[in-house]
Amino acid sequence: MADHAFVRIDKRGPVAIVTLDRPEKLNSLTPLMLEQLEAAAAQLEADGSLRAVVLTGAGERAFCVGADINEWSALAPLDMWRVWVTRGHRIFDRWAALRLPVVAAINGHAFGGGLELAAVADVRVTDPAATFALPEASIATCPGWSGTQRLVSLIGPGHVKSMALTARRIDAQRAYAIGLVDEVSEAAKSLDAAIAVAEQIATLAPVSAQLTKQLINAAAGFNAGSTLEAMAGALSATTQDAREGMASFRERRKAQYEGQ
């Protein structure tokens, strides 16, 4: 099991399709799968040929039903904090911050951590039969991977409270109405519809698309400081003064800046 790839990456030209591949367990997440999600993010970031990513689940029943309860319920309290919640936050944040636009193809149930994972995507396309829930309180726990944070930014505190404080499932049409998803596909066509969105993204100027994503994330309160610093650094590096600064350093002379 340790050698099994529960997170697969397939490339279709400039689009990568990342699949949670544990359909017999409704793609529920284990510590190993978290590690593989993190490794997948690093691989995607390093691949200069890619322009967009599609994230989906294997099988027809579920995108992801969240954490595998048998895995996390066996953890000691400190391990729950260190291994589970903290690691999950770090990995989900990394996915949310990917330079590449991410489209989620929600092919079935998205519960708990699975819904939180879908929320890291920039665009969400759902099958009409999919359902959505934050059921944590029904098993005496709380949303742990930004369900009370990123989801609030996405659909507002009222809708998140309605879901989390009742543990009720909502259907695809309700999810669309509250802005939880952006598109409802034809039946059994969520992956095709998501790939079509990703391929449309891939036709755009890639740097512009990636910078636009970062700007919108910053406006929503995610990584605003690092986004501003990165863009300021990139802009200043294009100036004539930057070239003069580097040249004066190499030549060990006083720089002559002209404000250009």
Which residues are catalytically annotated? 116, 136
Of 77, 84, 104, nearest to 33 by C-alpha is 84
**DSSP-assigned beta bridge partners for residue 7:** 20
Quickly list DSSP for 134-169: --GGGGT----SSTTTHHHHHH-HHHHHHHHTT---
Of 53, 44, 87, 97, nearest to 67 by C-alpha is 87
Separation of alpha carbons 21 and 1, rounded Å? 13
CB 91 within 8 A of CB 145: no
Q: Could you tell me what percentage of the chain is helix, strand and coil, using 3-state DSSP and rounding each to the nearest 5?
A: 50, 15, 35
Structure tokens at 228: 């501003």
Question: Residue for token digits 């259907």?
Answer: 171
Task: Give every CB contact of residue 73 below 8 A, 6+ residues apart in sequence.
Answer: none
Give the other-Cβ count within 10 Å of 239's Cβ.
Answer: 14
Phi, psi of 170 (to 5 degrees): -120, 155
